[in-house]
Structures are given as C-alpha cells and as structure tokens.
Chains A and B, each alone.
Chain A
Amino acid sequence: MYSDSEKNFITHPKGIMSWLFTLDHKRIGIMYLIAILTAFAAGGFFALSLRLELFRPGEQFLTQDQYNKFFTLHGAIMVFLFIIPSIPAALGNFLLPLMLGAKDVAFPRLNLASWYVYVLGASFTLFSVFTGTVDTGWTFYSPYSTQTSTSVISMTLGVFILGFSSIFTGLNFIVTVHKMRAPGMTWYQMPLFVWGTYATAMIQVLATPVLGITLLLLILEKVGGIGIFDPKMGGDPVLFQHFFWFYSHPAVYIMILPGMAIISELIAVHSHKKIFGYRLIAYSSVAIALLGFFVWGHHMFVSGQSEFSSMVFSFITFFIGIPTGIKIFNWMTTLVKGHICLTTPMLYALAFLICFTIGGLTGVFLGALGLDIQLHDTYFVVAHFHYVMMGGTVIAFLGGIHHWWPKIFGKMYSELWGRIAFVFIFVGFNMTFFNQFMLGSQGMPRRYHDYSSFLKTDLFERYHGFSSYGALILGVGFIIILCYLVASLFNGKPAGNNPWGGLTFEWSTTSPPPTENFKKDPVLKHGPYDYDKVLPKDIEEN
C-alpha cells in the first residue's frame, strides 16, 4: 500500500496500539469512518430485508415480530449509529483542523474519548439485539415502550451513551473553530464546511441533553414504576412526544447541515468558481440551526396537541424553508461561469441538488397544517425523510468521501467505476423512494408488515414491488463503491497534493498529510473560494 520510505499519518507511528491510543484527529476520523460504515452496512442489511418483505402483500419471510424489530433496528442504527455521527465525526474530525490550518482539534483527548464512548454506546445498542431486540420503532413512543417486554432499556441506555459522544464532538469543534484558526483567517474566510460543522456542533451541544434526559425518564419509568409518560401510572404519553421531538427535530439538522456543508465545498471546488453568496450560505446554516429548535410540534399535528400550538409550529416551520431555499439557489448559481469538471464527487453534488430539492419541496406539503393530516405516518413521510437523509445527507457523504479520499489516503480511485456506481446509486435511490410519495398519499400507512387485507392491496403491491427492485439496485451500487475504494488503496495512482484544484488549506499539504498536518505553520493569503484571483498551482505548499 504505502512504501516504507513514506512518512505520513497513516504509516507513522506503526502498530495497532498507536491507533487505539492515538490523539491524532485524522486517525480518530478514520476510526470513526470504519465504525459508522459498519453501522451503515448493518442498517442496510435490515433495510433490504424490510424491502424484500414488502415486495408482495402477505407474509414473505419475516414474521410480524421480526418485521417490527427489523424496522426498529434499521431506524435506530441508521439514525443514532450512522447518520448523526457520520459526517461530523468522520469527515469533520479529519478535515476541520486541516481546513483551519491547525495541528489538531482543541481537545485531542476528549476527541479520543468520544470515539470510545461511541463504541460503548453502540455495544449497548447492539447488545439489545441479542437480548430480544426492541420493537418500538426508533421513536420509543410511550406507553407502548413502557409496556412492551422487549429490551428497550439496553437500547435506550445505548442511545443515552451515544449522546455523550455527540456532545463531546460538538464541544470540541466549537472551541476548535473559535480558538485554532490559522493566522489571518477571519470568520468570513473560513471554508463553508467549517461554518456548517460549527452550526451542527451548536445543535449537538444544546439539544442532545434533552434526549438523554427523556430516555433516562423512560428508563426510570420502566424500572422504577415512576409514572411520567404511561397513563396507567398517571403519566402523559404526549409529553414524551414533546420531549422526544424537542431533540429529534433539531437532530434532523444535525443530520442535514453537515451534508449541506459538504455540498458547498464540492460545488465550489469542482466548478473552480467563487461560491455565490458566501455570507448568506453561512448565515442560513446558523439560522436553520436556531429555528430548528422551535418547530418540533410539526411532528404532532394529529397527536391531540392544541390547535393553537399546531398553528404556531406550522408557521415557524415555513420559516426554515426560506434559508434552505436560498442555499439551493446559491449553489445552483455558483455553477454559472465556472470551469466545471464533472468528476464523481461533482456528480454527487449535482444529484444532491436534485434529490434534496424533492425532499425539501415535499416538506412543504407536510408543514401545511391541513395537508399533514392525510400524509402523517404514511409512506409519504417515509419517502420525504429518505429524500432528505439518503438523497441529501448520504449522497453528500458519498460525494465527500470521493472528494477527500485522495487527500485522506493519497490514492485515486477508478473514475470510471466511480461513475458507474453513481448511476446505480442515483437510479436505485429514486426508484426505491420516489413512488413511495404516491404510495403514501394514496393511504399506505408506515410500519406495516403486511398490506394484504386492504381494498387497495393491488395498487399498493405495484408501488411496493417497484420500490423493492430499486432497493436491490441501490444495494449493488454500494457494493461497487466498496470494491473500488478498497482496491484503490492497493493499486490506486498517487493523488498528489491537490488533485481537484482546491484553494483551502487541506489541499496545500501532502496526501496523506503528515501527522502534524503541515510542514510549516500555514498563514492565510487568500479567501477559500478566490478562484477569480488564485490558481491552485500558485498556492504555496504548507
């Protein structure tokens, strides 16, 4: 893979212990990458099983109980083990100090601790798989979660612990951004990836404790019989939903903001063009992060919350749409007069613009008070959040991986296979999820193991069947990506410092970077997107 003479953060120091006890943000980033990809594979396995079960009406190969456990595991793994840590903890960890021109994050030990806390939390979550699993859905709605006999406690405890890992990372990033910027780098000269990660970190620190407390209360209720949510003990189940969404709505921005952060980089670098509306993109990330705290009630329009609350929540929800829309127009306009290279990462960025737009526009249906009544808890919602999380975050994540892979490992992957896999992912994803919008608005409820006794079974079968074919294509896409990326480590061409022609600090050092990131301390000479003034070949090596 790497010749012995090469000295970089991967080859030096050697030995497994040097990895397990490393304080290097780059190594921790890679350890996170391995962990979350493992989680993604597990979540994907459950997803594919669900899709195959739904291929036809009636029981195929999963019993009701298994199906309920599988969608719970799929949702919980994808949300808590994969998507929340994915971009910040893996790519963010690797890139944030490099982009700021720093040697490491502010608290390297805390950073390592967060990885171990993640692994501990993941173990508890997965432990529940062996003790009967959980069948409550990833939302753990009370009173069902208080009454079910499945191992809710070990899973919620796992999620509780995972929360701390998220808080540690967030805290670390906030301080790093404030304190570790290279000389000359003002707030408005930070790459937009840093802005997005910063906004995300704010939510991680502010919202995650609420989830922790909620789950702790749930555990107390289950173990100690203290009535908080379960009406049998004098509690209120709607209170649980308020607590849960008070975290989980901001959490959807923990999921999407880092994706948007990647897209800003990808579009600017691969079209070699000054990004359109830098400040608006930066501000809108922060605006989304803050507004995101005041809309949780849009998940509860039919829960029996007061009509007045519903009205207020619907109103604020639309306000989040505005900064989101502005971002999309800014990215699109960045392309104008660029020097655009349609590389694999750029293809993902363009796909993001299309898929995420669908996710955002269908959110408008759900935010409109009267319309949500029909669509809530149907496949329309399933399609909507997959368009946002998969079509948004996962597509951005794939784009990011392809964009920084040469930097992280110093090797180029096969561009041809990259494009082939992209086609599989794009086609497979849209085939899987697009028709679920119609499926949902026609009435198909979510979390259903079977749809054989409906008047509309025939109609639903056509949609479900098509989705399942799409899922298989999508699965093939992921396997191709895995193959050529791993192959590139062994026979990839050396990437050089700056294969795409970027202007931010990470492209000014060697690939893979040395342990101390830069050979000399970088000083900022130009803005992150000054493609009108600076050519990459002229930037000085750090």
Chain B
Amino acid sequence: MNERTFNLPPPASTIAGAYDELFYFIYGLSVFFFVIITVGTIVFAIKWRAKKGEEQKLTSGFCHNTPLELLWSIIPTVLFFVIFIWGFKLYLRYVVIPANATEIKVTAWQWNWNFAYPEGAESNILVVPKGKPIKLIMSSNDVIHSLFIPDFRVKMDVLPNRYSSMWFQSDYEGEYDLYCTEYCGQQHSKMVTRVHVKSASDYTKWIEENSVTPTGDVLYKRYACNTCHTLDGSAGNGPTFKNLFGKSETLTDGSMVNVDENYLRESILEPQAKIVSGFEGSVMPTFQNTINNDKLDALILFIKSLKEE
C-alpha cells in the first residue's frame, strides 16, 4: 500500500499518481519562487537599511531594467503555459470515462448517500471491486451535494436537476473516507461515509448478501430517515415515527388527516403534498426516484410496528 506524503493522502486510485506529479511540480516551482521573493525581500531590506540616526538623502533613480523586466514577465508566462496544458491534460483523464466502466447510481439527499449497484444491491457505503474502472452516475433529491474521495483525488458536484458523472479505478483493497464537500445544511458534516475496495470474490459475495430487500428498520437507517425522524417520541427536524400510524395529524392549512398507509406513501414520495403543522420550516427530500414499491412496503410496515397498543 502507498504511503501518504506531506501534502497528499496515499495515492489509492489509478489517476492519483498523475495528479501527484503535477501537484509536486507546481509545489517545487512555488517553493523556488517563494524562496527568491522572500530571500530577496529580506536581503535587500537589510542591505539597504538606513543607518541609525542617518539623515534622509537622495537615492538612486534606478527604476527600469529592460532585461530584468523581460525575464520576470516571460519566465512566468512560459511556466503558466506549461502548467495550463499539463493541468488540462490531467483534466482530460478525469472527464474521459472508460467505456467498460461498471456503472453505480449515486443518490444524495440531506444528509445521506445511497449507492445502487448494477446487480441490484443497494447500500449507504460505496463498495467497489478492485482493479475495475467504476463510473458513478449521480443525482440529488434536494439541494446540491458534492462527492469527494480524497485518497482517489476525485470530486464532483451532485445536482438536483441533472445527472453528473465521474469515474475512478482503485487497485488497492482497503477502506477510504468519502465526504460531501458542498455545504448542504444542518448535518453537512455528518454526510460522511466510506468506500470499501474489495477483491473480485469479496465483492461478489458482498453483492449477494446485500441483494435481498432489507427490512424496514434497516432501510430507516440506510436512507437516513433517522437524521430527521426519531423513534422515541421526541421531535427532530421532522415528526417522530412513534405512534404515528393511526393518529390524526394536523396539517399547515388547519385540516386534519388520518395517518393510514396511503398517507404514509404520499408523505414519503411527495413530502410537499401535505405538510404537518409545526414543520413548515424544514423540508423533507422526495424519495420518488429512490424508493421502489418493495422498499416502500417495508418502510410502512416498520412505521406501523412503532404504534404501541
């Protein structure tokens, strides 16, 4: 496994090596110019310092030197061209996605991630096979988020009204941090999960284990309903699920509804349709495109089970 360097985490993806080369190239140049300017400034300031108590006198009129000025205009310009082209070439490696990449669908919402695999499994951690290019096709259910895996040197915004995509390939098994890097509200700093890079056989095993439709209590956590809805009767960002089923709920327009299966279904798929009084301030993301019928049934069953007799 690679080691992290002073400035960068361990290069754990195939693009990281190329990234680090450019990074340390600019780093070297920066140190070079920084030393010139700092040393120059300090040395000049000391060398031409006025002696103590010395009267102000006329100084040299030195204010031009064409070769010098050309030098410090042309050298940086040339370097900028080099860096621009190099940076653009690196960028092309990011945006040209290999045709044989495995596609994983990413859905983000306040404040959770969901990863849907081609084989049918779903999870809120990202699990990928080692040594295969992976393409993430991403969209958001509410505001803008951004998916960032520092050890892979990849990042891309996740938008509510269009798909964005990115790719990576990791040849190193292990566990890595995955962050949301676009500020998305209250629990932005909790929108953190992990990437697991597994060997081909471990990956297949994991997919099989996660392909059965999970029960409602698992989904409650996976879809991060728990960030807004408690089970203990206290109000969070949204109403508690405890004793929710069967009660009559007051809406913002003053009307009452009876909480039955249809109301629950609508509340999850179209949260904006009926807003519970007292929760005008916070917005529940829609799960229209994320939760299919099987899972909806499981969640409703789970909420029903929270009713105490």
Q: Which A residues contact B (CB, under 8 angstroms)?
A: 64-65, 68, 135-137, 141, 143-144, 147-149, 231-232, 236-238, 271-278, 280, 302-304, 307, 310-311, 314-315, 318-319, 321-322, 325-326, 328-329, 332-342, 350, 353-354, 357-358, 361-362, 364-365, 367-371, 373-374, 376-378, 437-438, 441-443, 445-451, 453-456, 501, 529, 531-533, 535-537
Docked-complex contact A231 and B185, CB < 8 angstroms: no
A92 to B272, CA, bound (A): 51
The contact sample of 11 A-B pairs, CB cut-off 8 A, is A238-B159, A304-B156, A314-B88, A318-B81, A321-B76, A321-B80, A336-B48, A338-B44, A342-B49, A445-B180, A447-B189
Chain B: minimal CB distance from A433 (Å): 15
Residue of A nearest to B68 (CB): A333
**Hey, which bits of chain B sit against chain A, CB under 8 A?**
4, 6-9, 18-19, 22-23, 26-27, 29-30, 33-34, 37-38, 40-42, 44-45, 48-50, 54, 56-65, 68-69, 72-73, 76-77, 80-81, 83-84, 86-91, 93-95, 142-144, 146, 148, 150-151, 153-157, 159-162, 164, 175-177, 179-190, 192, 194, 272, 280-283
B84–A64 touching, CB < 8 Å: no
Q: Which residues of B contact A533 (CB under 8 A)?
A: 58, 61
Cα A535 to Cα B59 with chains together (Å): 10
Residues of chain A lying within 8 A (CB to CB) of residue B91: 307, 310-311, 369-370, 373
Residues of A within 8 A of B41 (CB): 332, 335, 350, 353-354
A275 to B61, CA, bound (A): 9
Question: CB distance B48 to A271 under 8 Å?
Answer: yes
CB within 8 Å for A365 and B26 given contacts A329-B72, A357-B37: yes
Contacting pair A135 B185 (CB below 8 A): yes
A361 near B33 (CB under 8 angstroms)? Answer: yes
A369 pairs with B160, CB closer than 8 A? no
Choose among A321, A337, A376 the residue that contacts B48 (Cβ–Cβ < 8 A): A337
Pick the residue among A147, A328, A353, A371 that contacts B19 (CB under 8 A).
A371
Known: A147-B142, A535-B58. 9 other contacts (CB 8 A): A68-B188, A144-B184, A149-B282, A302-B155, A325-B76, A336-B48, A340-B50, A371-B90, A455-B175
A302-B146 in contact (CB<8A)? yes
Q: Are B48 and A237 in contact (CB under 8 A)?
A: no
Residue among A272, A322, A370 making CB contact with B87, cutoff 8 Å: A370
| Contact call A451/B72, Cβ cutoff below 8 A | no
Docked-complex contact A302 and B157, CB < 8 angstroms: yes
Do A450 and B189 touch (CB < 8 A)?
A: yes
**Cα distance A182–B140 when bound, in Å?**
60
B58 touches A532 (CB 8 A): yes
Contact of A339 among B48, B144, B157 (CB under 8 A): B48
Q: Say whether, besides A322-B73, A377-B181, A338 and B48 are in contact (CB < 8 Å).
A: yes
Contacts of B161 in A (CB 8 A): 231, 236-237
Cross-chain contact of A311 among B86, B88, B94 (Cβ < 8 A): B88
- Interchain CB contact under 8 A, B144 and A141: yes
8 tightest A-B CB contacts, nearest first: A443-B150, A370-B90, A368-B87, A149-B281, A231-B161, A532-B61, A335-B44, A369-B91
Listed residue (A231, A332, A445) with the most chain B CB atoms within 10 angstroms of its CB: A445
Taken together as a complex, chains A and B put the C-alpha atoms of A318 and B160 apart, in Å, by 32
**Do residues B150 and A364 form an inter-chain contact, with CB atoms below 8 A?**
no
CB < 8 Å neighbour of A143 from B94, B143, B192: B143
Interchain CB contact under 8 A, A307 and B95 = yes
Do A371 and B87 touch (CB < 8 A)?
yes
Q: Which residues of B contact A342 (CB under 8 A)?
A: 45, 49
**The residue from B33, B148, B183 contacting A144, defined by CB atoms under 8 A apart:** B183
Taking a contact as CB atoms under 8 Å apart, the answer to whether B192 and A531 are in contact is no
| Shortest distance between the CB of B131 and any CB in chain A (Å) | 22
Set B86, B185, B189: member contacting A368, Cβ < 8 A: B86
The 8 Å CB contact of B80, one of A303, A322, A336, A447, is A322
Residue of B nearest to A356 (CB): B37
Contact assessment for A454 and B56 in the assembled complex, using a CB-CB cutoff below 8 Å: no
Q: Which residues of A contact B63 (CB under 8 A)?
A: 274-278, 334, 529
Q: How far is the CB of A347 from chain B (nearest CB, A)?
A: 9
Partner of A315 from B59, B84, B155 at Cβ < 8 Å: B84
B45 A276 Cβ-Cβ under 8 A: no
Per the bound structure, the CA–CA distance linking A361 and B31 in Å amounts to 9
Q: Is the CB of A536 within 8 A of B56?
A: yes
Which A residues lie within 8 Å of B88 (CB)?
Answer: 311, 314, 369-370
- Name the B residues within 8 Å of A238 (CB-CB): 159
B189 near A274 (CB under 8 angstroms)? no
A455 to B61, Cβ gap below 8 A?
no
Smallest beta-carbon distance B95→chain A, Å: 5
A531 and B58 within 8 A (CB): yes
A456 to chain B, nearest CB (A): 6
* Chain A residues positioned under 8 Å from B94 (CB to CB): 370, 373
B73 touches A365 (CB 8 A): no
Min Cβ gap B239→A in Å is 16
Closest beta carbon of chain B to A460's beta carbon, Å: 10
A362 to B64, CA, bound (A): 29
**Docked pose: A364 CA to B280 CA in angstroms:** 45
Contact A149 B280 (CB under 8 A): yes
Contact assessment for A340 and B150 in the assembled complex, using a CB-CB cutoff below 8 Å: no
A441 x B8 contact (CB < 8 A): yes
Q: B44 to A336, Cβ gap below 8 A?
A: yes
A437 to B8, CA, bound (A): 10
The answer for the CA separation of A304 and B161 in the assembled complex, in Å, is: 11
Q: Which residues of B contact A64 (CB under 8 A)?
A: 186-187, 189-190
Q: Which of A64, A310, A448 has the most CB of B within 10 A?
A: A448
Whether B177 and A454, one on each chain, are in contact in the complex, defined by CB atoms closer than 8 angstroms, is yes
Is the pair A65, B186 in contact by a Cβ cutoff of 8 Å?
Answer: yes
Check if A339 sits within 8 Å of B57, measured CB to CB: yes
| Contact among A336, A370, A448, A456 for B189, CB-based, below 8 A | A448
In the bound complex, residues from chain B placing their C-beta under 8 Å from that of A531 are 58-59
**A388-B190 Cα distance, complex, nearest whole Å:** 30
For B87, the chain A residues whose CB sits under 8 A away are 314, 367-371
When chains A and B are docked, how far (Å) is the Cα of A224 from the Cα of B223?
32
Contacts of A325 in B (CB 8 A): 72-73, 76
Cα-based distance from A335 to B45 in the complex (angstroms): 6
**Docked-complex contact A445 and B26, CB < 8 angstroms:** no
Q: List chain A residues, Cβ under 8 A from B146.
A: 302, 377
What are the residues of chain B within 8 A of A354 when measuring CB–CB? 37-38, 41
Question: Could you say which residues of chain A place their CB within 8 Å of the CB of B283?
Answer: 147
In whole angstroms, how far apart are the Cα atoms of A501 and B84 in the complex? 44
